[in-house]
Chains A and B, each alone.
Chain A
C-alpha cells in the first residue's frame, strides 16, 4: 500500500499525486517509469515518474483521465492509498550517462506535448542541477491544458509555449515552433528530447531530422508487467524488435517505426477490437470503459 501525501489538480482531467514510495524514490532517475495498480483486481498501468525526493522518500506521478483505470486512479484523494506501485522500471535517460566534462557543451531542446510535460520535467531539473543547458517547448491544444509551466521555468534556460488554438504563446504545433526557433531565431541544439502522444513524437522526429538534430523519444506502448515478461510493448527500432519496458522507454526517434507503434497501441481500441468486445460482452458492453 502506497500513501498519497498530496494531490493537485493541474488541468482539466489531469492530476498530480505525491506518493510515498521510499524504495523507488531512492533509486529512480529521469526517464524511468512505474506501474500502478489502483486497487486489487485493477489494471496495471504504466506512468512516468515526474519528480522524486530521495530524502522524503516520495515520487510524483501525473495522471490524465483517459480510460477506466486512469479515471478511477485520478479520483483518489490525499490520504488515500494506491494498492501497488512498482518501479523504477526501464532505463534512465541517456542524459544521466553524460560525463561531467561533456555536459556544458550539450545544448538540449525538450519538446513536451500535452501530458509529456510530466516525464520531461525531471530531465529538465536534472539538466539544471548538472550544468546541461536546456530550453523547453511545452505544447498543448489550448491554454487550459498546459501543465508544469511554472515548474519548468524554475529550471530551464528558456520556456516556450505553443497552443494549437493560439490561446497562449506560439499559435501552432510544437513542430512549427521548433522550426521557428532554429531557422528564424538562430537557436542551435545538439540534442532534442521529444515526449508526448505518439503522433506528436512522430512529427517532432520528422522535423528534427530535417533540422539535423539527434532526437530521443519516450515510447509508451501497451504493457502488462513492465519487466520484460509479456512482450506486449515490442516496437521496431531500425531493423530490431525492442521491448519498450526493458530496452527503453527512450529510443532514437529517427529510427522508431511510429506508424507500426501507433497501430499496435490501438490493439484493444480498434473497430475490430470493439466489435469483438461487443460480441463477447453482449449487453454488458457499453463502449465507455476506455478500453474499447
Chain B
C-alpha cells in the first residue's frame, strides 16, 4: 500500500471568533475523519510510538481498531494503560513523544495519535462507555495526596488492582493543574476533566477535598492513626516564581498562577463572583505553555497582549501548536527581550515595563544559547497589567512537616525511579518530584508509584512458570 502522507486536519474555531470566547479551540475529529486518519497507520511490527508514550499506551492496537470502526474496543485498549485519555489527547506534547518517534514523522506526517486518542475518549464519554469497572477488593487501604494528574492516575491504577483508595485534595475541587491551570479553551472542565474524575470515582476511589496534607493531617497520622498502609504524594509544583526586579509589587503585577486560578478554578470569566484584572494592555513574561495560556486568557478577557521572552522563537519552550494558536489569535511576540523594571504610576499601578533587547551567545548548561543583554537597548512598553510566567516550584509544606522525608535544595521530594521516597511506605511522583513538567509525565510517575505501592504491600509479583 502506498504511503498516505496527508494528515487528516482537525477543525478549529476561527481565530477571530475564538479570540472572544472560552469555548474549546480544537473541535475534534468526526468518526469518518478518525477512520481516515487511523487508516494511515502502518501498524509497525516494532512500534516506536509505544515506547515514546510515558504510560505506554498500546497505540498501534487501538489505532487498528479505530480504522475498523471498532471504537469501543479501541477505548478498552487505551483504558488498560491510561486513566485520563480525553485529557492526554488534548494536552500531551505528542510531537515530542509518540508522534515524534512515529516512522512517518521523517516523511513529515506522523499519525495524529493525540487526535485519535481524544476522538476515542470523547466518543466513549458521549456513549456512556466506562470500560471495565469490575473490581475485586483486596482489603488494603492506600492514601493519595493531591487530585492532579499524578494522584488521579495512581489512585485509578490502585483501585483497579483492588485497593481501597482515598485522595486528599487541598483545593475545593479535584483536578489539580487540569482545573486551576489549563484554561477552558484548551481543556474543558465540565465536559472533560470532571467526567474523567468521575470515571476514577466510579472505580471506587474516594476524594476528600479541603484537606491540606501536612496541616490538616500529617503523613504519619495517615499511616499510624487512619490505617493507610502506604501514601502516594502527588502534590505538584504550585509555587510561582517572580523575577526580583523593581516594581514587582505594583498593583497589576501578578503570577500566571493567580491569573489562571482566578479565571479557571474560580470562573472569573463567567460567574461574576471572583474579581480579576481586566487589563487594556497586558504583558506576559515567559515563553512556556503557561505563558501562552495566560496570554490567550488575557486576550479573551479583552486585552491587547504582548509576550516578552528573552530567547528567540526557536528556543520557545511552549508547544509549537500553542504558539501557532497564540499568533493566529493576534498575540504579539517580543522575542530576545527581557524586562528590567516595572514602571508604576503615582498610585502604585503598573503603567509600563522597561525591557532590554537580548542577543544569543554560547550555549549554557541547558544546551540552549545563553541570552546576553545588548547594552543601551532599553525601551518601554506601555501596559497596565504584567503577568509573570517564569515557572513554578514544589510546595515545601509536606517535606517541612514530615520528619524523615527528604527533599532537595529546590524543595523537590527525593524519590527513586519507582517513586520510593526516604520514608518507608511513602511514594511520590509528578511535579512534586521533578519540578514543573507535563501532565503525561506526572501520569507516568503516578502509574509507577501505584505499581511500587502494590509491590510494597503485596510483596514482589510471582511470575508464572
Q: What residues make up the interface of A, taking CB atoms closer than 8 Å to B?
A: 23-24, 26-27, 37, 41-44, 68-69, 83-89, 224-225, 227-232, 234-236, 241, 246, 260, 263-264, 266-268, 270, 272-273, 276-277, 279-280, 284, 291-292
Decide: A41 and B267 in contact? CB cutoff 8 A: yes
Contacts A234-B249, A264-B249, A268-B275 given; does A37 touch B216 at CB 8 Å: no
How far, in whole Å, are A232 and B257 apart by their CA atoms in the complex?
9
CB distance from B153 to the nearest CB of A (A): 21
When C-beta atoms are compared, the residue in chain A nearest to B239 turns out to be A228
Decide: A89 and B238 in contact? CB cutoff 8 A: no
Contacts A43-B273, A241-B242 given; does A263 touch B172 at CB 8 Å: no
Give the number of residue pairs across the A-B interface with Cβ within 8 Å.
121
Contact stretch, chosen from B94-102, B155-163, B206-214: B206-214
Question: Out of B180, B212, B239, B257, which one reaches A89, CB within 8 Å?
Answer: B212
Chain A residues with Cβ under 8 A from B278's Cβ?
276-277, 279-280
B336 at the interface (CB under 8 A from A): no
Decide: B216 and A231 in contact? CB cutoff 8 A: no
How far, in whole Å, are A86 and B168 apart by their CA atoms in the complex?
12
How far, in whole Å, are A87 and B277 apart by their CA atoms in the complex?
27
When C-beta atoms are compared, the residue in chain A nearest to B348 turns out to be A263
B397 at the interface (CB under 8 A from A): yes
Chain B residues with Cβ under 8 A from A266's Cβ?
251
Decide: A241 and B240 in contact? CB cutoff 8 A: no
Chain A residues with Cβ under 8 A from B4's Cβ?
none
How far, in whole Å, are A268 and B252 apart by their CA atoms in the complex?
10
Chain A residues with Cβ under 8 A from B239's Cβ?
228-229, 231
Within 8 A of A (CB), among B259-273: 261-262, 266-267, 271-273
Decide: B251 and A280 in contact? CB cutoff 8 A: no
Decide: B347 and A272 in contact? CB cutoff 8 A: yes
How far, in whole Å, are A86 and B211 apart by their CA atoms in the complex?
6
Q: Can you show 8 pairs from A to B with CB atoms below 8 A apart?
A: A87-B212, A88-B215, A229-B261, A229-B395, A241-B248, A266-B251, A279-B278, A284-B272
Interface of B is mostly: loop
Question: Out of B238, B251, B261, B267, which one reaches A263, CB within 8 Å?
Answer: B251
Decide: B170 and A227 in contact? CB cutoff 8 A: yes
When C-beta atoms are compared, the residue in chain A nearest to B236 turns out to be A229
Decide: A232 and B212 in contact? CB cutoff 8 A: no
Chain B residues with Cβ under 8 A from A264's Cβ?
249, 251
When C-beta atoms are compared, the residue in chain A nearest to B235 turns out to be A227
Chain B residues with Cβ under 8 A from A88's Cβ?
212, 215-216
Question: Out of A83, A89, A224, A292, which one reaches B215, CB within 8 Å?
Answer: A89
Chain B residues with Cβ under 8 A from A27's Cβ?
215-217
Question: Out of B217, B262, B397, which one reaches A228, CB within 8 Å?
Answer: B397
How far, in whole Å, are A216 and B460 apart by their CA atoms in the complex?
54
Among all A-B residue pairs, the 10 with the closest Cβ atoms: A230-B258, A229-B238, A231-B255, A268-B275, A23-B216, A84-B172, A86-B210, A263-B348, A231-B240, A280-B278
How far, in whole Å, are A210 and B277 apart by their CA atoms in the complex?
39
Can you name 12 extra interface pairs (CB under 8 A) apart from A26-B216, A224-B266?
A: A24-B216, A42-B273, A83-B172, A86-B170, A88-B215, A224-B261, A230-B240, A231-B239, A231-B255, A241-B242, A268-B275, A280-B278
CB distance from B12 to the nearest CB of A (A): 27
B31 at the interface (CB under 8 A from A): no
B340 at the interface (CB under 8 A from A): no
When C-beta atoms are compared, the residue in chain B nearest to A90 turns out to be B215
Contacts A86-B210, A272-B347, A276-B278 given; does A230 touch B170 at CB 8 Å: no
Chain B residues with Cβ under 8 A from A279's Cβ?
278
Question: Out of B254, B261, B302, B349, which one reaches A280, CB within 8 Å?
Answer: B302
How far, in whole Å, are A266 and B348 apart by their CA atoms in the complex?
11
Chain B, residues 163-194, CB within 8 Å of chain A (1/0): the string is 00000001110000000100000000000000
How far, in whole Å, are A92 and B349 apart by their CA atoms in the complex?
33
Contacts A229-B238, A279-B278, A291-B275 given; does A260 touch B212 at CB 8 Å: no
CB distance from B250 to the nearest CB of A (A): 9
When C-beta atoms are compared, the residue in chain A nearest to B210 turns out to be A86
Chain B residues with Cβ under 8 A from A229's Cβ?
180, 238-240, 257, 261, 395
Chain B residues with Cβ under 8 A from A291's Cβ?
275
When C-beta atoms are compared, the residue in chain A nearest to B262 turns out to be A224
Chain B residues with Cβ under 8 A from A235's Cβ?
249
How far, in whole Å, are A224 and B347 apart by their CA atoms in the complex?
23
Question: Out of A86, A236, A276, which one reaches B249, CB within 8 Å?
Answer: A236
Contacts A23-B216, A260-B249, A276-B278 given; does A43 touch B266 at CB 8 Å: yes
